[in-house]
Amino acid sequence: MKHYLSIKDIDNLSEWVKEARILKSQPKADKNLGANKTICLLFFNNSLRTRLSTQKAAMNLGLDVMVMNFGSEGWALEYGDGTIMNQNTSEHIKEAAQVVSQYCDIVAIRAFPSLTDKEQDEAEVVLNGFKKYTSIPVVNMESSVGHPLQALADAITLDEQNTKARPKVVLSWAPHPKALPHAVANSFVEMMGLQEADFVITHPEGYELNEAITQNATIEYDQKKALENADFVYVKNWSSYKDYGKILIQDPNWMMTKEKLGSAKFMHCLPVRRNVVVEDAVLDSDQSLVIEQANNRTYSAQIVLKKILESL
Ligand SMILES: NCCC[C@H](NC(=O)CCC(=O)O)C(=O)O
Ligand SMILES: NC(=O)OP(=O)(O)O
């Protein structure tokens, strides 16, 4: 594998999950694989988990790590072809990407969507700009369209926690005061498409995700009905996709509660707004898997970096 940009780059999910769980039991087993190689982590947006777990994964593999908060430290980048750069952008992706690639062997990038320009967001200009103008592998640390390191970590968590041949997994929308990206939900849906599971998505009308991603997934607008007999409930807010980037409702009735969760396990990628997205009683119970999901971010990043290093 050269790049890790989406769930589609996983050739065999169950095999990767198995390998990641072995790495989790022996995190330093490949500590020389990345010797004399460097990874650059470029952040255009905030992060806690991705920032630290990807660095930890890289260190477990013996890689040198350079981190840059591009949003606050780098020059404002231009992505347009032929732009007369007399406005606010100082450096073109053509130079920036080539320069960065001279300093490292792998580049990992976090670049959220604008949520104002659907076409530009879906073009993934930052990720694809680096892919186009460098020859080094590119890793997606959450882009406009996907968060495949998160979904791979979620697959590891599901594998560890599941006791059934065909569990019921529900992706449930929740309210949020800010307009949030679709990336986490998109990659989770794509990852669930590769699982033996009864998978249901529930959200209010108007919050349909991109149909190209949900394809044949079951959508149930009645949250109560969707949650019946659930084994795992993955909660996430996203803004409207149809009415792009808009908050259509903030109905607190969609918040996840202990009562609604029943005996299911609770999942969320974090960070989470307590008592808006999910009530304290859920997060503070032993039904919550959120801390272990965050732990598994190290091993999802490590299996990805390992596969890239092995193919260099
Ligand atoms: N990487 C995990 C989630 C990142 C982002 N959440 C956020 O921006 C939440 C910010 C807040 O709650 O203020 C998202 O939904 O894609
Ligand atoms: N889940 C996740 O990606 O968290 P951060 O945004 O803190 O990296």
> pLDDT (tens digit, 9 = 90+) per residue, 155-197?
999 999 999 999 999 999 999 999 999 999 999 999 999 999 9
Tell me, yes or no, whether 120 and 250 share the same domain. no
- For atom 6 of ligand 2, the residue with the nearest CA is 47
Distance of CA 101 to CAs 6, 36, 129, Å?
21, 15, 12
Q: Ligand 2: which atom is nearest the Cα of residue 48? A: 7
Query: In the predicted model, what is the mean pLDDT of residues 8-14?
Result: 98
Decide: helix, strand or coil at residue 198.
strand
Distance of CA 210 to CAs 148, 244, 291, Å?
16, 11, 29
- With a cut of 90, say whether residue 125 has pLDDT above it: yes
Which range of residues forms the domain containing residue 243? Answer: 148-293
8 Å CB contact between 239 and 245: yes
Would you state the pLDDT for residue 1? 83
Would you state the pLDDT for residue 237? 98
Please choose from 184, 236, 247 the residue to mutate so as to test ligand 1's pocket, defined by most ligand atoms within 8 A of CB. Answer: 184
Tell me, yes or no, whether 200 and 120 share the same domain. no
Q: What is the mean pLDDT of the chain?
A: 98
Query: In the predicted model, what is the mean pLDDT of residues 275-294?
Result: 98
Tell me, yes or no, whether 120 and 178 share the same domain. no
Tell me, yes or no, whether 158 and 110 share the same domain. no
Angstrom distance (rounded) from CA 85 to CA 88: 8
Tell me, yes or no, whether 34 and 116 share the same domain. yes
Angstrom distance (rounded) from CA 2 to CA 170: 32
Tell me, yes or no, whether 80 and 160 share the same domain. no
Would you state the pLDDT for residue 28? 98
Given pLDDT bands bounded at 50, 70 and 90, which one contains residue 304?
A: very high
Q: 45, exposed or middle or buried, with CB in 10 Å at 0-12, 13-18, 19+?
A: middle
The tens digit of pLDDT for each residue in 212-255 reads: 999 989 999 999 999 999 999 999 999 999 999 999 999 999 99
206 falls within a domain: yes
Tell me, yes or no, whether 178 and 135 share the same domain. no
Tell me, yes or no, whether 31 and 129 share the same domain. yes
Question: Residue 145's CB: how many other CB atoms inside 10 A?
Answer: 23
Residues in the ligand 2 pocket, defined by CB under 6 Å: 47-51, 142, 150, 269-271
CB < 8 Å & 24+ apart, contacts of 116-120: 116/244, 116/245, 118/244, 118/245
Query: In the predicted model, what is the mean pLDDT of residues 273-296?
Result: 98
Q: Letter for the amino acid at 77?
A: L
Tell me, yes or no, whether 106 and 200 share the same domain. no
8 Å CB contact between 285 and 278: no
Q: Which ligand ends up closest to the CA of 181?
A: 1
- With a cut of 90, say whether residue 151 has pLDDT above it: yes
pTM comes to: 0.98
Would you state the pLDDT for residue 13? 98
Angstrom distance (rounded) from CA 182 to CA 238: 5
For residue 55, give the CATH number of its domain: 3.40.50.1370
Tell me, rounded to whole angstroms, the distance of Cα 20 from its chain centroid. 17
Given pLDDT bands bounded at 50, 70 and 90, which one contains residue 136?
A: very high
The tens digit of pLDDT for each residue in 259-269 reads: 999 999 999 99
Tell me, yes or no, whether 95 and 176 share the same domain. no
CA 183 to ligand 2 center in whole angstroms: 12
Domain count, the chain: 2
Angstrom distance (rounded) from CA 284 to CA 272: 13
In order, the DSSP letters of 53-70 are: HHHHHHHHTT-EEEEEEH
- 16 labelled binding-site residue: no
Query: In the predicted model, what is the mean pLDDT of residues 25-45?
Result: 98
| Complex ipTM value | 0.99
Length of the chain: 312
CA 24 to ligand 2 center in whole angstroms: 19
Would you state the pLDDT for residue 71? 83
105 falls within a domain: yes
Tell me, yes or no, whether 180 and 103 share the same domain. no
8 Å CB contact between 128 and 293: no
Would you state the pLDDT for residue 286? 98
8 Å CB contact between 54 and 108: yes
- With a cut of 90, say whether residue 308 has pLDDT above it: yes
Sheet holding 138-140, edge to edge: 64-69, 38-43, 106-110, 138-140
302 falls within a domain: yes
Distance of CA 42 to CAs 33, 88, 246, 249, 294, Å?
22, 20, 27, 33, 20
2 falls within a domain: no
In this structure, what is the dihedral angle of CA atoms 55, 61, 63, 67, given to the nearest 10 degrees?
-10
Residues in the ligand 1 pocket, defined by CB under 6 Å: 142, 147, 178, 180-181, 183-184, 269, 271, 273
Tell me, yes or no, whether 104 and 125 share the same domain. yes
Query: In the predicted model, what is the mean pLDDT of residues 138-149?
Result: 98
1 falls within a domain: no
Angstrom distance (rounded) from CA 282 to CA 264: 10
CA 46 to ligand 1 center in whole angstroms: 9
254 falls within a domain: yes
